Amino acid sequence: MTDLQTSLIVIGGVIVVGVISYNKWQEHKAKKSVERAFSSSHDDVLMATEDRASSSDIERHEPTFASTDYDDTAPVTHAEQEAHVEAESDAPVDMMQATEEKELPVDYLIDCTIPLALSTQLRGEKILPALQSLRHVGSKPVHFAGQHIDGGWEAVTHGGIYKSLMAGVQLANRSNALNELEYSEFVMRLRQIADDFDADPDVPDMAEVMVTARSLHHFVTEYDAKLSVNVQTNGAPWSVTTLLAALERQGFDVRPEGRLVMPDGDGGVLFSLSTNVTLAEETTSRLTLLLDVPAVSPARDGFGAMTACARSLAARLDGTVVDDGSQPLSDASLNEIAGQLEVFYADMEAADIPAGSNRALRLFN
């Protein structure tokens, strides 16, 4: 072996050792930066009340609305099938109006409702097995309510005695509107149940139902909005393992699919967080916080909580709050979004589908 070859081997070995040492140093630095950020006595990740207030006092600009061209018109109200009124009618069914505050499983506004008049009174335990056989048609859920012998309506339960039933198939969801095939399957299977109970279903005209379903899906499409803000590192990437552990301590829940969510305190989700990397990667340079706007009640101030969390993370991790195009988001920009959100929420309220309500959660699912 010549002196030149020996020298090259030695130089190559030094380079390899240097690269390995540098990578180890970077990993150590990323881990330590996250540990330092969450080991001090900072405020909670949702930040103090004064920070929350500062994000909602003035108008905000919307940089990342998933649907900024929303329509400020209310959807065509679902036709009251048992009375066969036109789809434009906003008059709810009398029997549903009397008890809608009970959050009945069948909803006159978002379901195609079909009454089933029973020839004799039936107990809930006799009815339920048949109803369990019809829970979905396609991607649309099916629900039932029963009229108790005292005249009130409720979810069918064991021990109850019912003189009539109401079936409802959801008219739309985020994916699509109820179609002819799904409606035909619903009616066919419902007739089978009706035959078992010697009931007489009052089936609405398919053409009218399809018009109402498409109108409701148009509303869902127009108001299917998501808001996101990002926290981007100003220097070295963050260690994912250390970061996830710290976020869990700050109140985030890790879902089975790996998604991080901030609970709202009542079993729901306030907003979610993504590390933007696969489980195989060890570091990340960007975190994304996402608010599902129609699924969160404005009373919970999901946007205020999310932006406060983003600011807190940016301060702790030496990062910057940016939009999807990596442009810094100023307080003025964030504040302008709140003004748009107020209009958005008001429009949903006017359509009788307030954000965060059971109706909204069913539709935007």
Range of the domain at 356: 49-68+224-363
Choose one of 221, 237, 266: the last residue of a domain. 221
d(CA 293, CA 225): 6
Q: 158, 149 in Cβ contact below 8 A?
A: no
CATH of the domain at 204: 3.30.1400
Count CB atoms within 10 A of the CB of residue 322.
19
Which one, of 133, 165, 127, 159, lies nearest residue 146 by Cα?
A: 165
Mean pLDDT calculated for residue range 281-292: 96
Which one, of 165, 161, 166, lies nearest residue 125 by Cα?
A: 161
> Has residue 4 been placed in a domain?
no
Average pLDDT, the chain: 81
Amino acid 256: pLDDT: 75
88 or 313: which leads in pLDDT: 313
Collapsing DSSP states into helix, strand and coil, what is residue 247?
Answer: helix
Of 71-75, 119-123, 163-167, which range is least confident? Answer: 71-75
> Has residue 43 been placed in a domain?
no
Choose one of 221, 240, 269: the last residue of a domain. 221
Tell me the β-bridge partners of 200. Answer: 117
> Has residue 359 been placed in a domain?
yes
> Has residue 41 been placed in a domain?
no
Amino acid 295: pLDDT: 97
Residue 355 in this model has a pLDDT that exceeds 50: yes
pLDDT (tens digit per residue) in 32-53: 555 555 654 444 433 333 343 3
DSSP H or E segment with residue 274: strand 269-274
317 or 69: which leads in pLDDT: 317
d(CA 277, CA 85): 52
Amino acid 10: pLDDT: 54
- Number of domain units in the chain: 2
The confidence band for 1, taking pLDDT boundaries of 50, 70 and 90, is low
Mean pLDDT calculated for residue range 72-76: 41
Mean pLDDT calculated for residue range 143-172: 95
> Has residue 61 been placed in a domain?
yes
> Has residue 150 been placed in a domain?
yes
Based on the fold, state whether residues 248 and 262 are members of the same structural domain.
Answer: yes
Residue 280 in this model has a pLDDT that exceeds 90: no
Largest pairwise CA distance in the chain: 104
d(CA 293, CA 271): 9
> Has residue 327 been placed in a domain?
yes
31 or 201: which leads in pLDDT: 201
> Has residue 330 been placed in a domain?
yes
Based on the fold, state whether residues 217 and 313 are members of the same structural domain.
Answer: no
Amino acid 97: pLDDT: 47
* Tokens (6 digits) for 184: 């035909």
* Tokens (6 digits) for 94: 């009398």
Instruction: Indicate the DSSP class of residue 172.
Output: B
pLDDT (tens digit per residue) in 315-327: 999 999 999 999 9
Tell me the Ramachandran region of residue 318: left when phi exceeds 0, alpha when psi lies from -120 to 50, beta otherwise.
Answer: left
Rg (CA), the chain: 28
Choose one of 193, 221, 249: the last residue of a domain. 221
